[in-house]
Amino acid sequence: MLLLRGHSRPPANWSGCVATIGNFDGVHLGHQALLQRLQQEGTRRQLPTLVVLFEPHPQEFFCSTERPAPARLLTLREKLACLREQGITAVQLLRFNSALASLAAEDFISVYLQQRLNVQHLVIGDDFRFGHQRRGDFAMLQAATSFSCEASATVVSDGERVSSTAVRQALASEQFARAARLLGRPYTFSGKVAHGDARGRLLGFPTANLRLHRRVLPLHGVFAVHVHGLGPKPLPGVANIGNRPTVGGTEPRCETHLLDFSGDLYGRQISVEPLRKLRGEQRFDGLDALRAQIARDAEQARQFFAGA
């Protein structure tokens, strides 16, 4: 998959594309349906498929104390991996900053869709808004003369409209089966195991640490989890997802202790799937109290897996 960052332009032999624009947080069933439609049109026109993404998300750029940004379901790396799995040919990644936020909708169409990307056909949601003060809409895109435009259909699962907001709500209320149904796959945190402060090993519970690279997490707490990527079957574990207040943590992490496992995992690519929330994240009065609670968490996770 070709990644065009910022002012990067398509290769010299680029003859146009079919495209879509959006945040695609979660790459849920609704996104997947839109991307499948994009693929169909790309095949029919014999053109590459392209997704225009913004980083950070505009809602993160405009967020404030009174108006916080929504939780991120996927990091940029995870999102790009999902788009690659969907067969997308290229991604145009635009940095959302004050200059882009102040760009008129008509200029966005002219500069990016027409001149730079040579879009021949556009597939978007009919409620999509863009440009300065969100003046651009589906009607404005339809009026463009250099490309055709169509609206993607709403996807409904078990009577519920599929959306990133619905996935966030499902995760926040610990409805992991509902989140999986909306996503078309279990929800996971993914990444390479990074070096931490080795405090878990000192406490007798070594952990595989993932840096989550999100301002706002979709869930917090201690969970019984499955860890994927270390063998043919998922391995059971217990994970703390959050900021680790007892040790003064500030960076969101997923710290997972694998039950009955030993080995060096640094640098390994894993995915951690929450299955059951055991408790909320909390601050303890010292490491001895934390060690005792981790032991109770591990035992509770064992009981969960024994009955699963």
Of residues 290 and 308, more confidence is placed in: 290
pTM of the model: 0.92
Q: Is 291 helix (H, G, I), strand (E, B) or coil?
A: helix
Question: CA geometry: angle at 75 spanning 206 and 56, to 5°?
Answer: 140
The number of angstroms, rounded, from the C-alpha of 181 to the middle of its chain's C-alpha atoms is 16
> What single DSSP character describes residue 120?
E
- Does residue 121 contact residue 45 with C-beta atoms inside 8 Å? yes
pLDDT at 260: 87
CA distances (Å), origin 248, targets 191, 194, 216: 23, 18, 17
- Bridge partners for 19 per DSSP: 50, 122
Model confidence pLDDT, tens digit, residues 202-236: 666 889 999 998 888 999 999 999 999 999 999 99
Q: How far apart are CA 104 and CA 232, in angstroms?
A: 51
| Token code pair at residue 253 | 């992490």
The rounded mean pLDDT for the chain is 91
Lowest-confidence pick of 9-13, 37-41, 126-130? 126-130
Band of residue 248 on the pLDDT scale cut at 50, 70, 90: low
Strand residues in 22-130 grouped as ranges (E): 49-55, 90-95, 119-125
Residues whose CB falls within 8 Å of the CB of residue 112, separated by 6 or more in sequence, listed in order: 52, 92, 94
Q: What is the mean pLDDT of residues 105-123?
A: 96
CA distances (Å), origin 225, targets 179, 206, 216, 257, 267: 15, 15, 20, 9, 20
Q: How far apart are CA 14 and CA 118, in angstroms?
A: 8
Q: Which domains does the chain have, with CATH numbers?
A: 2-155 (3.40.50.620), 188-307 (2.40.30.30)
What percentage of the chain carries pLDDT values higher than 90? Answer: 74
pLDDT at 203: 64
First to last CA, the chain: 39
> What single DSSP character describes residue 230?
S
Q: How far apart are CA 164 and CA 110, in angstroms?
A: 29
Of residues 257 and 262, more confidence is placed in: 257
pLDDT at 287: 80
pLDDT at 198: 57
- Does residue 236 contact residue 274 with C-beta atoms inside 8 Å? no
Of residues 288 and 184, more confidence is placed in: 184
Q: What is the mean pLDDT of residues 256-278?
A: 93
